[in-house]
Each structure stands twice: as structure tokens, then as C-alpha cells.
Structure 1
């Protein structure tokens, strides 16, 4: 329960008191969502619950505690340590990362300048995503990712919320530290959304291994090039590639001799092949290993592992 005490302290006094009464293992918590004038919602182990004033979980929205605008304002004051201006740069991306690596997503009125979001005000919804490390969750795929002493270019394909970031994080840790499948490698991580390292004030809150260099809150394409120039990584890891600049950066990194670990949203390799830029990577057989996830029977389930030719290696 100590872990839960750490992250519920960011909420307004009233909501903090409610959440402290919730009888649930903090290891199962995934999200806590506040919307002005709407029910307090909690997601755990892939299921959604409404939370009552007494801290009970219910499927009946009419019994749920309703979040007020003032409680959202008070929560944001705690999150930003009473200095929203100091966190303006992070808010432009729609989230703040707090101690423990937990991510606080926000939406409201976006303030734009020259076609780009400059800041966020009148925040009306807060979504706290609870960071979890699952050490060893990559054990089953490591023989295919790093078998025979080398690291293969690997793409994790997964629908949203199926554990791809958690899996990638553990792959990074194991490759960085080294083990029975490969010796330790220098890994450069471009963590655009602060989800892999969960960095707080520049310090990763999640264990990414002893040989890992983390570039936090940096666009993926730009970050990959920066790491190549400055840190000479043997492996580069990025979460959620997709844009044209991302694809070109991946190709450049491969041509520079770096091994690539990446994730992408999708339901399978056929889904990826239908997308112009990603399909090119598949056609050129850049990736040597594809790991496909699904959420049938729980988050983070491996559907299969495929080689660069689409042959099934693991089911």
C-alpha cells in the first residue's frame, strides 16, 4: 500500500481521502481519471470501475462520486507544485511526469501560437497513468530478440493498452545489463512521452539497465540522430514509431550500425504492411524479429513471434 500512498498524494484532499479507502492492490491499478462534473473512474487489470464517496468500486455510474472543477484545479496545483508556469513546456505535450514515473495526462483549452500548442489552460480532465515495472516479462521473447549473442532489429506490434511499452522496457533492461542471451550493450533510449524511463527531473524512475542513456521528452527522429552523434549507442530503443521522420531515422540508425528496438500500434504484421512508410520497412526486411501482442486473457499476452520473412518462431 506504500506505493499507492505515494501517487494518491497528488490528488485534491477530498479525492485523496476517497482513494485511500479503495480496497485494491496498487499493482493492478492502471489509470485514475478525473473529469469535471463527471464520475470518478478507476481502471484496474483491464476493467473500468466507478468510485463511490466511501471508496467502494461499482459499475453503476449513478452511485459514483462526481468530480468538481475545483478538485481538478486543486489536483493540478499539487501536481505542478503550485507553479504551472514551471511546467509549461511539459504541458505543451499534454502530460506531466511525477515521482515514481507516473504520468499525468491533461486536456482543456489549448493555447496555440503559429499552429503549435504553446500551453494548456482551463484543464477539465486529468488522467493519471500508473507506472508499473514488470521485471522478467520479456524472458519468453529474449531468445528471439538477443539469441546467439547478437541483438536483432525488433518491432513490437500491439493494440493500445496491451503492454508493449512494459515489454520494451524490460527488453532494454535485459540487453543493457547483459545475461545468458547476450553480453551487455550500450542502449540509447529516446523517451518522447516519458513512458519508458518515467524520468522525473531528468532521473529515470524505472530500471532501464546499467548501460542505458536516456533522452527524455525529445521527438523520436531528432533524438535518434542526437544519440548517434553524441553517445555512440549499440542499440537504440523508441516507443510508437509511425511518422515519416521516424521511419527515415530508423533507416539511418540501421545504416550507422545500430540495432533497433521499437514499438508500433497495430493488430499484426499485415496491418503494418498496409501503411505506406511502415510497410516499406517490412518490405525491405529491416526488422529481423516481430513480436505481436494481444489482450485476450490479460494484458501483455504474446500472440506470436515472427522472423523477417513472416515465419512463426513462437506461439
Structure 2
């Protein structure tokens, strides 16, 4: 069981996790450490508690409960023994680890001018295990091609949290950048891709270098607000495609509109369940009125298999269902 993320846990917890079966270990997606409360595992939508013997239970009274000293050790390990150097990450509420894994944090916030300055007395950690699924976007990408412009169509990917949006974006970037179109008539080469990765989730950058294979012609603006990052990429990197995750503010929509007017294709994601509901939100209404998006993709997941519905720019169904991963699916 060679997993770099194991290093964030003290030795006792590490040993308990290593007692899990190989198949279950490989399916782990979230590990939740709550001080003085049951230690929880998420394996593809199924939730269990870890027992003091390294087994699994659904009864929280039988679960292993880590103490404060173990919580301090976890914080020390994820900050590499230096809280001071991680102040900015602590203020945002998460820390990105080597390999693109992310640890979310919860505790007592310290405010300055009405804004969160940092988090202290951290008592909850949520490790989200990032996985790269090469080929995840193959069944989808061929439906997003713009043959006239030899590019991809402006696309909005919609799904609730933890359904695979980021994993899909990661593989779309790799294939678009490398020109792996999956269509016999798409003969143009790979395109220049710019990723604006505000939460360091898509690329999993560590010291500015992506942890994942994003293709040979991809540039990443890491830990940068989406709207500002998109404008910076437009001005400085001359991208042909911009990829951005989880838009949610009016300035995000304005930056997307600016990119589209500049002739740059945009592939974005947003939390939601249906196209009409998403486009009714105030921050997206301008994009809806301008009919900017040419494809809508609705992702969902059941029993570790991802399915998608595809709609055209007028919200008419094109493809009712697909299965990009064909099996085990992990999210970041």
C-alpha cells in the first residue's frame, strides 16, 4: 500500500489504515479526522468508521476516536512542522499536499476587518484523495469539438459536489493539450490550454509544478482567484482554451464573457443539478441571455460509475448517457 498521503497521519493511525483490504484501500476518497469523535472513511459514496483494531463499522460507538495530541501531530505533519509558512493556506481553509491531495480544515476562525485572517484550534481534518484517471474524458470530448474553429465548444459542466467534475477537467486538459480528440475527423494538433486553479485542485501544484499530467501545452495559474486569473492568462499566455473549476460569482461570469469575446474557448464547471436551475442564478443570467455556452454536460455518479447527459446550447438533449470512466471513479 504505497500512498504518499499516509504520511499526514501519526504512526498509530497509519498502521490502522494499512490494515484495510487492498481493494477498499484503493477506493478511499475521503478520510475525516475529528478530534474526540469517530474516525470516518468515504469509499465511493459509502461511509464507514474505523475501529481501534483497523476494521470497519457503521456504529459510531464502536469507532476509533483520535485525541487532541494526534490532532496536533496531523497539523504538524501537513504543515511540514511550520505553521508560519502555511498562513495563507490556513486562511483559505485547506492545504494542498504532494500528489494533489487536499486537506480541508475546520476550527475556530480569527477575524480581521470582518474577514477570516486564519484558523486556529483546528480540530477537524478532511483528506480528499486525488486520483488521475487517464481517458476519463474520452467518451465526452468528441462531442465538444468545434470543427469550424478547430477548437472545443464553450462548455459548462454541471453536477453536485463530489461527482467527478475536477477529475473530468483534469483529463480534458490533458487530451485537449495533446490533441487526443477521439474523433476520426479531428485532425488538428493539440491546443494551448490555460488552467486557473484557485483551490489547487485541478493541477495539484506543489511549488508551482502540477502533480498531474495535464498535457504538453498546458499552463497553470495556481491559487489565484478565478476572475483575476482568467484575465491574467488572457493577457499573458495567449491561450486557445481556458479551463476553470467551480465558478460562482458575478466577476467569474464577466471574465468568462471576456474570454469568449476574445475568441478563446472556455470549459467551466459549476455546482448544480440541472441546466435551467444553474442558469437562473443571478451571476450566470448574463451568460444565459447571451447564449454563450454551446454545450452543457450534467455529471452524476452511482456505484463508482460516472454517467453524463449532454445538451446543446439551446438546452436540447444530444446524448442521454455515457460512462467516461467505465469503472472505478475517484474525485479530487
| TM surpasses 0.5 | yes
Cα contact 1:188–1:213 (8 A) shared by 2? yes
- Find the counterpart in structure 1 of residue 313 from structure 2: 308
| Counterparts of 1:120 and 1:36, CA distance in 2 | 15
Deviating more after overlay: 172-181 vs 101-110? 172-181
Q: Deviations over 1:68-116 (max 9, x none)?
A: 1111110110111110110111111100011111001111111121222
- Find the counterpart in structure 2 of residue 273 from structure 1: 279
Deviation at 1:250, TM superposition (A): 0.6
| Counterparts of 2:127 and 2:238, CA distance in 1 | 35
- Find the counterpart in structure 2 of residue 11 from structure 1: 9
- Find the counterpart in structure 2 of residue 160 from structure 1: 161
5 Å-filtered alignment, 1:204-283, equals 204-283=210-289
Instruction: Name the SS of the counterpart of 1:174 in structure 2.
Output: helix
Q: How many residues align?
A: 312
| Counterparts of 1:78 and 1:129, CA distance in 2 | 16
Higher relative contact order (CA 8 A, sep 6+): 2
Residues 1:90 and 2:89 are matched in the alignment? yes
TM-score normalised by L of structure 2: 0.91
Unaligned runs of 5+ in 2: 321-332
- Find the counterpart in structure 2 of residue 124 from structure 1: 123
Change in CA separation of 1:283 and 1:298 when aligned onto 2, cut-off 3 Å: farther
Q: Deviations over 1:142-200 (max 9, x none)?
A: 11112533210010000111111111111111001112445201111000011100111
- Find the counterpart in structure 2 of residue 21 from structure 1: 19
| Counterparts of 2:302 and 2:118, CA distance in 1 | 38
- Find the counterpart in structure 2 of residue 175 from structure 1: 176
Deviation at 1:118, TM superposition (A): 1.7
Deviation at 1:273, TM superposition (A): 2.5
Deviation at 1:297, TM superposition (A): 4.2
Instruction: Name the SS of the counterpart of 1:249 in structure 2.
Output: helix
Deviation at 1:294, TM superposition (A): 1.5
TM-score normalised by L of structure 1: 0.96
Cα contact 1:153–1:259 (8 A) shared by 2? yes
| Counterparts of 1:153 and 1:7, CA distance in 2 | 35
Residues 1:65 and 2:71 are matched in the alignment? no
Instruction: Name the SS of the counterpart of 2:8 in structure 1.
Output: coil
Q: Deviations over 1:103-146 (max 9, x none)?
A: 01111111121222221111010000000111111111111112
Residues 1:78 and 2:77 are matched in the alignment? yes
| Counterparts of 1:46 and 1:166, CA distance in 2 | 16
Unaligned runs of 5+ in 1: none
Cα contact 2:45–2:303 (8 A) shared by 1? no
